[in-house]
Structure 1
Amino acid sequence: MESTQVHTLNLTSVLSVSKKIILTRYWHFVSLSILLFFPLSFSLINISSIIHLFTDDHSNNHKLLITYLLIVYILALCAIGAISYSTHHDFFGEPVKFFDSLKSLTFSFLPITSTAIIAHVIICLISLTFILLVGTILMLVHNLGFVVIDYNSVYFMWFLVIMGVILIAIVLYFYVEWSLAFVVVVVESKWGFAALMRSSYLVKGMRSVSLLVMLYFWGCGVLIVLICSTNMHAIVITTLGSFFFTMFLLRITAANTVLYNYCKALHGELELEVGEGFVHEYMNIPSEN
Structure 2
Amino acid sequence: MATIGHSPTLCGVLSETKLTIRANSRHFLALSILFLLPLSFASILYPSLITTLSTTNFITSHYHQNSRLLITLLYMLFVFLFSIFATASISYSTFHGFYNRSVSFISSIKSILFSIFPLLLTVLASQFILIFIFVIFGLLGALLYEGLLTFGVDVDYGSNYLLGFVICMTILILVVTIYMQVEWSLAYVVAVVESKWGFAPLKRSAYLINGMKWIALSIMLYYGILTGVLTISCSTLLVYLGGINGGWAAILEIVLCSVLLTMMMLSYVAAYTVLYIYCKVLHGEMAFDIADESAEDYVSLPVDDGKV
- TM class by shorter chain equals 0.7 to 0.9
State yes or no: 1:206 paired with 2:222: no
Among 176, 187, 205, the alignment partner of 1:181 is: 187
Equivalent position of 1:222 in the other structure: 228
Instruction: Kindly provide the CA deviation profile for residues 65-121 of structure 1, in whole angstroms up to 9, marking residues without a partner as x.
Output: 423421321111110000000000011110311221111111111111111121122
- Out of 76, 91, 97, the residue aligned to residue 90 of structure 1 is 97
When Rg is computed on C-alpha atoms for both structures, the one with the higher figure is 2
Take 2:292 and 2:202, find their aligned partners in 1: how far apart are those partners?
Answer: 28
Q: Which amino acid aligns with 2:204?
A: R
Q: Report SS of the residue matched to 2:5.
A: helix
Task: Report the secondary structure of 2:134's partner residue.
Answer: helix
> Does residue 286 of structure 2 align to residue 270 of structure 1?
yes
Paired residues for 1:22-37 under 5 Å: 22-37=21-36
Q: Residue 54 of structure 1 contacts residue 64 of structure 1 at CA under 8 Å; is this kept in 2?
A: no
RCO higher in structure (CA 8 A, sep ≥6): 1
Alignment-derived partner of residue 169 in structure 1: 175
Contact 1:115–1:195 (8 Å) recurs in 2: yes
AA matched with 2:117: L
- 8 Å CA contact 1:54–1:65 kept in 2: the answer is no
Are residues 127 and 235 of structure 1, via their aligned partners in 2, closer, same or farther at CA, if it must alter by over 3 Å? farther
> CA offsets per residue over residues 23-62 of structure 1, 9 Å max, x none?
1122321221232123333333333334467885444243
1:117-156, Cα deviation, whole Å (9 max, x unpaired) = 211222122123213322331342244235x433223443
Helix, strand or coil at the partner of 2:152: coil
Residue 66 to residue 131, structure 1, CA distance change in 2 (3 Å): same
Give unmatched runs, 5+ long, in structure 2: 244-249, 295-308
**Alpha-carbon separation, structure 2, partners of 1:114 and 1:169:** 25
TM-score between both structures, scaled by the size of structure 1: 0.86
Is 1:73 the counterpart of 2:80? The answer is yes
**What CA distance in whole angstroms lies between the structure 1 residues aligned with 2:233 and 2:84?**
25
Change (3 A) 1:225 1:139: farther
Pick closer, same or farther for the CA change 1:133–1:47 going to 2, 3 Å: farther
The equivalent residue for 2:305 is none
User: In the superposition, relative to structure 1, how do residues 139 and 248 fare at CA in structure 2: closer, same or farther (>3 Å)?
Assistant: farther
CA distance in 1, matches of 2:83, 2:53: 21
Q: How many residues align?
A: 273
The one-letter code of the counterpart of 1:145 is G
Q: Quick one: structure 1 residues 247 and 135, their matched pair in 2 at CA, closer, same or farther if it must change by over 3 Å?
A: farther
Q: Displacement of 1:272 after TM fit? A: 2.5
SS in 2 for 1:191: coil
Q: Is the 8 A contact 1:180 1:203 kept in 2?
A: yes
- Alignment partner, residue 131 of structure 1: 138
Amino acid at match of 2:186: L
Identity, in percent, stands at 38
Over 3 Å counting, the alpha-carbon distance change for 1:134 and 1:198 in structure 2 is same
Q: CA RMSD in A?
A: 2.2
Task: Name the counterpart of 1:250.
Answer: 266
